């Protein structure tokens, strides 16, 4: 998946796994992005996998809740 699809997937996983409102999940992902959380993903699209999205969703939820 491309970078934008990856961000959408991470956002969706936060909503589904942690019962967070869409807007809140979007804000979490935006804050993570602003803090360069996804910089490696942008540099290496190969790490934009579903498995990695699950791990990143957990990390972002934990750090930005």
pTM higher than 0.95 for the full model?
no
In a structure prediction context, what are the per-residue pLDDT tens digits for the chain, which is 65 residues long?
888 999 999 999 999 999 999 999 999 999 999 999 998 877 787 889 999 999 999 999 999 98
d(CA 31, CA 33): 5
């Amino acid at each position: 998946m491309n970078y934008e699809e990856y961000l959408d997937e991470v956002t969706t996983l936060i909503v589904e796994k942690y019962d967070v409102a869409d807007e809140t999940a979007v804000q979490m992902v935006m804050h993570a992005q602003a803090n360069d959380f996804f910089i490696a993903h942008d540099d290496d699209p190969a790490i934009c996998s579903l498995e990695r999205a699950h791990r990143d969703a957990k990390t972002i939820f934990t750090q930005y809740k």
